[in-house]
Structure 1
Amino acid sequence: MPRLEPSARPTGLAVFLIVAGAIGLAAAFTLTLDKLHLLADPNAQLSCSFSVLIGCATNLSSPQGNIFGFPNSLIGVMGWSVVITTGAAILAGARFAHWYWIGLNVGATGAIALVIWLIGQSIFVLDILCPWCMVTWAVAFPTFLAVTFYNLKSGNIPVPESVRRVASVAYAWVPLITLGCLITVAVIAQLQMDFLNRL
């Protein structure tokens, strides 16, 4: 596989993908272990269960936690492994074809769509927040934003030059945009669940 010149290699993105992927993988793996504990003992006390408002047993046992017929966390284990591998390969000098970047973007888009749906289910239907799920939310947003803006600004996704310029600016603001997204989720949770008064 051909190597990128050091100046062209998106090192910052690579490091971010490794870190975000590791955090997401840890959360997904822990959720998978908790699901196994519940299967072995439906009354098991899980480490993520803190109160009637914060816990993962309800989510793991609900239809929303197994929307494809198996635990959602297994999707995370597979997906975050790809993210980590991508970041590590970039640091090693790999150069990916446009189709790979587009595929990664499709995966990130699917992941954020699923995350947004699960956020809605947690807040408006299940009325409980899963700690490890929230960790996943916190890294899914910036991963989607970083990959999408990078693809737009670098031309992996063919768009007009004006869009590339906007994406280039937005790419530098991914942390702030992510913070805005997470604050929005927190505000919605507070308004719907009266989160702070129920802790």
Structure 2
Amino acid sequence: MAAPRTHHRPVALAIWLIAAGVIGWIAAFALTAERIHLLQNPSDSASCDFNIVVQCGANLASPQGSVFGFPNPLLGLTGWVAPIVVGAAVLAGARFARWFWMLFWAGMAFAFGFIVWLISQSIFSIGTLCPWCMVTWFVTIPSFYAVTLHLLRSGVVPLSRRAREVAGTLSGWVPLMAVLSYVAIAVIAQIRLDWLSFL
């Protein structure tokens, strides 16, 4: 039998969502500004183009940079508002219905899946590491882990008490899980692109 939901405010999660949302929004804004600049000045290079491997220009100009028919950073400009609002609401004492949390998680899952695909495209197809894109990766990965584990430990997803306890324990390991994810990306990128030699 699934354990009932708990109603403890996830303060740490709320603070992280606000911080991640702000950082992600800044990265999306910077990429949007770069894309507009390149459209206005096609002969220029982006300010985040440091060398042939570490750059933004190739990513922004690639088909992968406009998957839905418009620049991907526009998704970030709108999408990163949600974690900020949810985090602020939780700090203010809001309690959301199960459907709301599941909808929010679906958005985070989409963002996570999308950046995993973009990471693979960046490393294996485009052959670059975009600095502002990596900032987005940096905040999306732990945000997805943290929200997923919160839903599991709090009972939003009906689970046994034992499963919730495991999710609660894993919640404390989100930073390590994120670091291991970053290391895996860095190792794969090094094997494929030898990016360290360009620093």
TM range (shorter): over 0.9
Q: Deviations over 1:32-55 (max 9, x none)?
A: 111111111112232211111111
Q: How many angstroms apart in 2 are the aligned matches of 1:45 and 1:125?
A: 20
Residue 10 (structure 1) aligns with: 10
Q: Deviations over 1:140-185 (max 9, x none)?
A: 0000000000000001112233321211111111001000000000
1:43-62 matches, within 5 Å, as 43-62=43-62
Q: Does 1:177 align with 2:170?
A: no
Q: Which is bigger in relative contact order (C-alpha 8 A, separation at least 6)?
A: 2
Percent identical among aligned pairs is 49
Residue 3 (structure 1) aligns with: none
1:115-130 matches, within 5 Å, as 115-130=115-130
With normalisation by structure 2, the TM-score equals: 0.94
With normalisation by structure 1, the TM-score equals: 0.94
Residue 66 (structure 1) aligns with: 66
Q: How many angstroms apart in 2 are the aligned matches of 1:45 and 1:196?
A: 22
Question: How far is the alpha carbon of 1:96 from its aligned partner?
Answer: 0.8
Q: What residue identity is the alignment partner of 2:133?
A: C
Residue 150 (structure 2) aligns with: 150
Q: How many angstroms apart in 2 are the aligned matches of 1:161 and 1:184?
A: 32
1:8-157 matches, within 5 Å, as 8-157=8-157
Could you say what secondary structure the match of 2:80 adopts? helix
Structure 2: gaps of 5 or more residues: 1-6
Residue 188 (structure 1) aligns with: 188
Count, aligned residues: 193
Question: How far is the alpha carbon of 1:17 from its aligned partner?
Answer: 0.4
Q: How many angstroms apart in 1 are the aligned matches of 2:154 and 2:95?
A: 13
Q: How many angstroms apart in 1 are the aligned matches of 2:195 and 2:45?
A: 22
Q: 2:51–2:198: 8 Å Cα contact kept in structure 1?
A: no
Could you say what secondary structure the match of 1:48 adopts? coil
Question: How far is the alpha carbon of 1:198 from its aligned partner?
Answer: 3.2
Q: How many angstroms apart in 1 are the aligned matches of 2:133 and 2:172?
A: 26
Could you say what secondary structure the match of 1:184 adopts? helix
Q: What residue identity is the alignment partner of 1:58?
A: A
Q: How many angstroms apart in 2 are the aligned matches of 1:39 and 1:158?
A: 49
Q: What residue identity is the alignment partner of 1:194?
A: D
Q: How many angstroms apart in 2 are the aligned matches of 1:64 and 1:160?
A: 41
Q: How many angstroms apart in 1 are the aligned matches of 2:26 and 2:197?
A: 30
